[in-house]
Amino acid sequence: MEMEANSNKEILLNMLHMVKTLYFFDVMPARNLKLYARWTPILITVTLELNGGRGAQKITALEGSIPEAPEEPTKVGYVFFGWFSDEQLTLPYNFMTAFNTDITVYAKWEADSKSIAVYTFGALRSLIESDPYGTYYLGNNLDVGGENISSLGTFYGTLDGNGYEICNYSISSYNCGLFTENNGVIRNLVISNFTLSTPKNSQYGASVGGIAVINNGIIRNVCIKDFSINIKIAAKDYINSEVEIGGISAVNDGKILNCLLERGTISLDITRENINRDEICDIVGGAIGTNNDTLSDISANLSIDIKYGNTSKYSSEKYIYAGGIVGQNKTSILSKNLISEGNMSVCISDEISIYETQNHRTAYFSTFAYIGSVIGFGSSGSFNNVIGNMETIVDIESLTGGGGCALADLTNNIYLGGIVGKLQDANLTFCSSMNNIKLTTNDRIYDNYGWSKETSNICCGGIAGDATSATFTSCSSTGLVRHDVKAQSGSIFINGKIELKPGDTYSKCGGIAGQMTDSSAINCYSTGNITATSIESYFILFYVGGISGYTAGSSVIDCCYAEGNIRSEGNTKGGISGYLSSESLIKMCFAAAANNITSDGRITDSITKSFSLDTHTPSQFKSLEWLFYELCWDGEIWIADGVSYPKLRFQIE
């Protein structure tokens, strides 16, 4: 057998493609074979000669394609004039032409007569106060000497750190950041050894950002290190005590690019007593509280500690968004290259207690907590190349009591994920979660001649706690997923009525998602153990699965596998999905032998669950050859050595 040669491409014909073996046409095979052509792309390099500037030094593109223009470089005291294809800077180059060979382009600069060098922090403040639209660059490190300072206000110009630091300061305010608002450009800057806090005995809310409370401009090439953000609030009654925190910015309405946060701590301690407000919202992000625009290449290694204590006799809804990088993402713009490391601890204590002797009154108190090692709540967007390695532990304690003629009704909705707490109308692609996540709930009810009720919906997933109209593509989770219920009916009954019955608490745990609704998981895997336990399981419905705990709506799990052990107090569990709706589909998936949960090795809650003939879904992994011949997995996506379970190719190459 002969094949046409191709002088421009290297053809690798691989029987399984997953194994790194070239197939030769020198032996007649014993059976029919399906061969895959593997193409090695030919790349060309564009070398960027910066002529003293800062920026990328080269970019690559496919041969014959038009390369994407790099971000504009910067040079202190100069304005970038453009790229040129010759050293004499006479032939402009605009990155709109395809080419087939390596080339070098050159940056041209023009002196900026308006650019001002800054050598002291006092001078920087004076200059910005007199001209917030100016262009400034640091000539050396600005050591503030440990002083407690005020913000530099609203900025519209350009501040180039020139690689130097602003360091050794503290700010205590309700709107707390180096800048109150950035509408300009802040770049090439390091800020370090600083503390941001609210005033002592504070009972009001706060907005805090390391660089700027609100960013409407561009923050690029910034390092924030050796810092602490300490917010402590004790509020009651009608006071607005909402909090929004970000290590870079509380709110991003601009662009934040290529930023690093390291050796930082964020501490939030809030107690609220009888807050009489319909809705309370607190947002904490390691880098950004709320993101409404562009994020790219953000890495954070932080310790985040959040404590909530709430005592109420009024109806209210409380929303908590916490993420290692972003508290909540509200934009459809692609966010990419996000990495979180470190640890996060969230402790929520709620008590609702009312007593009425004559008037019938009901107090409804609901908590919605969205907690993710990278993103708390991700909606309407796409996330690409996201890595979560932030150990996350969440403790929820609830105490509910009604007395006299009153009804106390408390509802907990907790979403915890190794990447994102809740993913809605959004996509995750090329994401890896390596951290362990653990949630402990302790629900107690007491009653004094009244009526008390408590319900909980708990969703824990290696990638996402909950996914609604969302897609996971080429994602993996290798950490542990665990939900422990300490008490559910540990109640004090005093002549009243406690409404607590099976189904009042739902625990949904999965290797990729705790719950999937009208969502899909394609080419994903989970290797961590998944555990859901309870002291008293009578009142709790557990749904535990290797990929999804609870699969609802019209969801699809396609070309996925789960390897970890599954342990649950309930019976609704499966190697791939705990519960599977009649309109959902599992196809071309397998569960490793190690996570068999019954002798039949079932892949979902019922061994009689129907699958169409073309789904070809087995219960266990059989062989590498079987994986590709029978299940037809894509060798361009998966890679394996024939001994261990397969991995996603992007994680290896």
Give the per-residue SS3 of 20-43: CCCCCCCCCCCCCCCCEEEECCCE
Alpha-helical runs (H) found in 76-202: 121-130
- 409, two tokens: 């009704």
User: Does residue 399 sit within a domain?
Assistant: no
Q: Alpha-carbon distance 17 to 514, whole Å?
A: 33
Q: How many domains does the chain have?
A: 1
Q: DSSP characters for 215-263?
A: E-SEEEEEEEEEEEEEEEEEEETT----EEEESSEEEESSEEEEEEEEE
pLDDT per residue over 11-42, tens digit each? 223 333 444 445 556 666 666 666 666 677 78
Question: Domain range holding 70?
Answer: 43-111
Alpha-helical runs (H) found in 492-535: none
Taking the CA atoms of residue 538, residue 544, residue 548 and residue 554 in that order, the dihedral angle to the nearest 10 degrees is -40
- Short-list 421, 427, 368, 356, CA closest to 392: 421
User: Does residue 107 sit within a domain?
Assistant: yes
User: Does residue 71 sit within a domain?
Assistant: yes
User: Does residue 55 sit within a domain?
Assistant: yes
Sign of the CA dihedral 391, 367, 332, 548?
A: positive
Between the alpha carbon of residue 118 and those of residues 55, 75, 161, the distances in Å are: 22, 15, 10
pLDDT per residue over 273-283, tens digit each? 766 667 789 99
pLDDT for 61 beyond 80: yes
Mean pLDDT, the chain, as a whole number? 83
Model pLDDT, residue 238? 59
User: How confident is residue 348, by pLDDT bands cut at 50, 70 and 90?
Assistant: confident
pLDDT for 497 beyond 80: no
Percent of the chain whose predicted confidence (pLDDT) is above 90:
51
pLDDT per residue over 100-148, tens digit each? 889 899 999 988 888 999 999 999 999 999 999 999 999 999 999 999 9
User: Does residue 596 sit within a domain?
Assistant: no
Q: Alpha-carbon distance 461 to 557, whole Å?
A: 15
CATH number for 50: 2.60.40.4270
Burial code (b: 16+ CB inside 10 Å, e: under 16) for 148-167 equals ebebbebbbbbbbbbebbbb
Model pLDDT, residue 98? 83
- Short-list 295, 146, 127, CA closest to 220: 295
Alpha-carbon 371 to chain mean position: 9
User: Does residue 183 sit within a domain?
Assistant: no
* Arithmetic mean of pLDDT, 559-573: 84
User: Does residue 137 sit within a domain?
Assistant: no
User: Does residue 101 sit within a domain?
Assistant: yes
pLDDT for 409 beyond 70: no
- 34, two tokens: 């399906």
User: How confident is residue 643, by pLDDT bands cut at 50, 70 and 90?
Assistant: low
β-partners of residue 318 are: 280, 367
Model pLDDT, residue 642? 65
Model pLDDT, residue 496? 36
Percent of the chain whose predicted confidence (pLDDT) is above 70:
77
- Short-list 205, 363, 362, 367, CA closest to 279: 367
pLDDT for 598 beyond 50: no
pTM of the model: 0.86
